[in-house]
């Protein structure tokens, strides 16, 4: 039987008054009702709640078959997407796979080399990746509900053209996999016309909650991750975190504690890990909470840090800076490997006291030492303990944060499923790039840019 994920807020209790906790319990119960009965804002996007048990076996088998084909005929899989269309898959592959998977010989990898594009506007990145692909067999997985999001659409246009030139129109079609809307959108239209193998993003699941759909599952399966085990972990979390009782639900406890800290004026949450493999999980987590909570002038600012490296950079601020933040620490209780520190009688480095001990022992002591130091310095610490880094526990971890985020949004009084602010930069971007229909806005923006440049020039001249 799998051991369960554990949430520990004992290092934050001194910062929480019991009467505040008791009062918030009723608010959590109301938020639970809003979420499960669909009475809260954004209720049309709650499909992720039941994803762990709703993905039928035939669809899982289609994903596995596509993944098997990719592994059989491809040295490289290119995943094209931005935001929720790629962050979850990349996080899973980095957390559950080999640190240097793309550098391993083919016989030692559990799947093809996997690279992600369409999440930036760097020509250098694209050119360097194309150089890397020379002489290799490639498949593409393009992930977009609409097919018109600019960054991935540009990348898909470039790579589709590259694939056609490399393989010809007919063979290229057999190497392109589209994950998109069921019925509508430019990518759906193209996939149907070209006959691409395609997978559906459910209408009731938003991008940042889509990791347990084919959006995340196809790249994971291609990379050798057991998606059945992952979904089982998420399904168990779904059952475990179903209680509206704050004292019985660790997921809701996390949402409640962070909400109480927000009310105290702690405006920044730092997600901390002691493993480089958690780096892109931090990126996924940042998008989940930033897009869900950051609206209406509200919300915690989510940032991620990697210890112990960041203890030697931002550690000073964390210890002695402004007390407007708290930390959430991710820890794996049992690593799959350990390294023993060698004996050295000369002891020039002064580390002989560690001889014979494992790196995991050092990591655990560094973690506990930092928690105690930061707590003593006035920074509350929350601890999320993952028993082992397996697909099962990854699924459990994903569901823990997704549900906590939804409850947290309702406690905050916002719609945790929309992202109106993201559209503002897109309007300006389309206008400045000359997209038809944005001519008036383009003229306004260019006038502002010219005015700013003139002001800067005048100020420089005065100096």
Question: Annotated catalytic sites, by residue?
Answer: 291, 426
Q: Using an 8 Å Cβ cutoff, are 238 and 399 in contact? A: yes
Element spanning 263, H or E: helix 250-263
Per the rule left: phi > 0, alpha: psi between -120 and 50, beta: everything else, 184 is: beta
Q: What does the block give as tokens for 298? A: 């509200």
Q: Using an 8 Å Cβ cutoff, are 335 and 387 in contact? A: no
Q: Which long-range contacts (CB under 8 A, 24 or more apart) does 67-71 make?
A: 67/111, 67/218, 67/221, 67/222, 70/111, 70/112, 70/139, 70/141, 70/177, 70/222, 71/111, 71/112, 71/222, 71/224
Q: What is the strand order of the sheet 138-143 is part of?
A: 113-117, 76-80, 138-143, 176-180, 197-200
As a whole number of angstroms, the distance between CA 272 and CA 270 comes to 6
What contacts 244, CB < 8 A, 6 or more positions away?
A: 28, 29, 32, 33, 252
Count of residues for the chain? 463
Tell me the backbone φ, ψ of residue 143, rounded to 5 degrees.
Answer: -120, 110
The residues with which 138 forms a beta bridge, in sequence order, are: 76
For 439, other C-beta atoms within 10 Å of its C-beta total 11
Q: What does the block give as tokens for 71? A: 């592994």
Q: List the alpha helices (DSSP H) in 133-226.
A: 150-167, 169-173, 186-194, 214-222
């Amino acid at each position: 039987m799998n051991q369960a994920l554990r949430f520990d807020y004992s290092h934050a209790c001194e910062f929480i008054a019991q009467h505040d906790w008791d009062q918030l319990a009723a608010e959590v119960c109301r938020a639970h009702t809003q979420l499960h009965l669909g009475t809260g804002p954004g209720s049309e996007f709650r499909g992720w709640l039941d994803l762990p048990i709703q993905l039928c076996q035939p669809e899982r088998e289609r994903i596995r078959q596509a993944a098997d084909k990719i592994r059989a005929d491809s040295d490289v899989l290119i995943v094209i997407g931005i935001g929720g269309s790629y962050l979850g898959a990349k996080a899973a592959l980095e957390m559950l796979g080999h640190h240097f998977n793309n550098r391993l010989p083919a016989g030692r990898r559990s799947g093809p080399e996997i690279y992600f594009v369409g999440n930036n506007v760097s020509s250098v990145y694209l050119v360097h990746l194309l150089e890397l692909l020379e002489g290799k067999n490639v498949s593409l997985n393009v992930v977009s509900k609409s097919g018109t999001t600019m960054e991935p659409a540009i990348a898909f246009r470039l790579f589709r053209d590259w694939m056609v030139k490399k393989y010809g129109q007919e063979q290229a079609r057999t190497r392109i996999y589209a994950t998109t809307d069921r019925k509508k959108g430019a990518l759906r239209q193209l996939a149907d016309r070209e006959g691409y193998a395609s997978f559906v993003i459910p209408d009731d699941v938003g991008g940042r909650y889509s990791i347990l759909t084919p959006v995340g599952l196809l790249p994971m399966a291609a990379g050798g991750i057991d998606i059945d085990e992952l979904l089982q972990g998420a399904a168990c979390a779904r059952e475990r975190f179903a209680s509206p009782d704050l004292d019985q639900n660790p997921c809701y406890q996390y949402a409640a504690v962070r909400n109480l800290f927000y009310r105290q004026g702690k405006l920044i949450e730092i997600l901390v890990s002691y493993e480089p493999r958690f780096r892109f999980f931090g990126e996924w987590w940042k998008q989940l909470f930033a897009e869900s909570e950051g609206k209406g002038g509200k919300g915690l600012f989510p940032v991620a840090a990697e210890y112990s490296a960041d203890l030697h950079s931002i550690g000073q601020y964390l210890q002695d800076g402004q007390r407007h933040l708290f930390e959430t620490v991710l820890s794996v209780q049992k690593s799959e490997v350990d390294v023993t520190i060698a004996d050295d009688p000369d002891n020039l480095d002064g580390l002989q006291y560690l001889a014979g001990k494992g790196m995991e022992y050092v990591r655990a002591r560094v973690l506990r030492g930092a928690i105690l130091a930061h707590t003593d310095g006035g920074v509350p610490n929350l601890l999320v303990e993952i028993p082992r880094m397996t697909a099962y526990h990854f699924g459990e971890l994903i569901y823990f944060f997704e549900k906590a985020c939804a409850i947290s949004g309702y406690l905050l009084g916002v719609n945790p499923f929309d992202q109106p602010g993201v559209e503002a930069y897109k309007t300006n971007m389309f206008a400045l790039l000359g997209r038809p229909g944005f001519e008036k806005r383009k003229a306004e923006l260019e006038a502002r840019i010219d005015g700013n440049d003139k002001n800067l020039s005048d100020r420089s001249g005065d100096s």
